[in-house]
Amino acid sequence: MIAPRVLIVEDEAVIAMALEMFLEELGAQVVATAGNVQDALQKATSEDFDLAFLDINLNGQKAHVLPGVLERRRKPFAFVTGYGEQGVLGAHSDAPVVAKPFSRGTISTALEELKSRLPAEPPA
């Protein structure tokens, strides 16, 4: 498989940079990042990516509409949250959850899970 293209939605720059570094070390290509709800919605609807890592609380704003947008586009996603499982919306409880602070290992596990959820590529 070619490197999965990733959207990162995270309001803390240091956390977003660490996540991007781990993903790239693991063979993914970060194609877009967003730090607020408006930017995240724009990128989630228009950017060309395969999967996403989402912080649901962006500068105090809840990004609860994002998972639905990603599901409609058939883009698997993981939540990256300091709230653990409690930070996840019930309707999306099947999405992987990466607890903050995260490690390269927890990002790797989530990335592999998301890659397994990607729609099958059409035959060439």
Please check the confidence at residue 83 and state whether its pLDDT lies above 90.
Answer: no
Residue 76 tokens read as: 């698997």
The predicted-structure confidence for 14-70, as pLDDT tens digits, reads as follows 999 999 999 999 999 999 999 999 999 999 999 999 999 999 889 989 888 899 999
Report all structural domains of the chain as residue ranges with CATH numbers, in order of start.
5-117 (3.40.50.2300)
Q: Given this model, what pLDDT does residue 73 score?
A: 95
The predicted-structure confidence for 86-115, as pLDDT tens digits, reads as follows 656 677 778 999 999 999 999 999 999 999
Contacts for 115 with CB less than 8 Å, ≥ 6 apart: 1, 4, 51
Query: What value, to the nearest 5°, has the Cα angle with vertex 108 and ends 98 and 58?
Result: 35
Helix, coil or strand: residue 8: strand
